[in-house]
């Protein structure tokens, strides 16, 4: 069974204090690993897809990396508007549930000014 574990559960940062969020996963065969941002009362907003170990993607202050067992979301010089819950999900290659995303519990990020 595919599993995703995110850590820490919650992270409080000062504005400008860089840090990383972790996503550990087990999957029979990885089609893709996805990062989403979710604001309160809204649906998840797509950020990145990573497909293979060594791959990196960047968007503004966010950078996602991937190894064979985990992914990191690095946040450089965060701003208060980066406060949100960050979700990691995996999609398996094959199996009966085509397209299924298996999500982690998320990391609640709070950035204080």
Partner 1 sequence: SAVISQKPSRDICQRGTSLTIQCQVDSQVTMMFWYRQQPGQSLTLIATANQGSEATYESGFVIDKFPISRPNLTFSTLTVSNMSPEDSSIYLCSEEGKSGHHEQYFGPGTRLTVT
Q: Where on the phi/psi map is residue 54: left (φ > 0), alpha (ψ -120 to 50), or beta?
A: left
Does position 110 interact with partner 1 (CB under 8 A)? The reply is no
Rounded least distance, CB 19 to partner 1, Å: 21
Place of tokens 């985990």: 70
Does position 72 interact with partner 1 (CB under 8 A)? The reply is no
Handedness of CA 56, 112, 44, 88 (dihedral sign): positive
Q: Smaller CB distance to partner 1: residue 19 or 102?
A: 102
Does position 86 interact with partner 1 (CB under 8 A)? The reply is no
Q: Smaller CB distance to partner 1: residue 54 or 113?
A: 54
Output the CA torsion 109→21→78→30 (10° steps). Answer: -110
**Which residues contribute to the site for partner 1 (CB under 8 A)?**
31-32, 34, 36, 41-46, 49, 87, 89, 91, 96-106
């Amino acid at each position: 069974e595919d599993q995703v574990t995110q850590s820490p559960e919650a992270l409080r940062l000062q504005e400008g204090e860089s840090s990383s969020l972790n996503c550990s996963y087990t999957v029979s065969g990885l089609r893709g690993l996805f990062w989403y941002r979710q604001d309160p009362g809204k649906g998840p907003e797509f950020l990145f897809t990573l497909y293979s170990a060594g791959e990196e993607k960047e968007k503004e202050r966010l950078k996602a990396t991937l190894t064979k067992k985990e992914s990191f979301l690095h946040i450089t010089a965060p701003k208060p508007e980066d406060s949100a819950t960050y979700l990691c999900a995996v999609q398996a290659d094959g199996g009966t549930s085509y397209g299924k995303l298996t999500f982690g519990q998320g990391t609640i990020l709070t950035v204080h000014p």
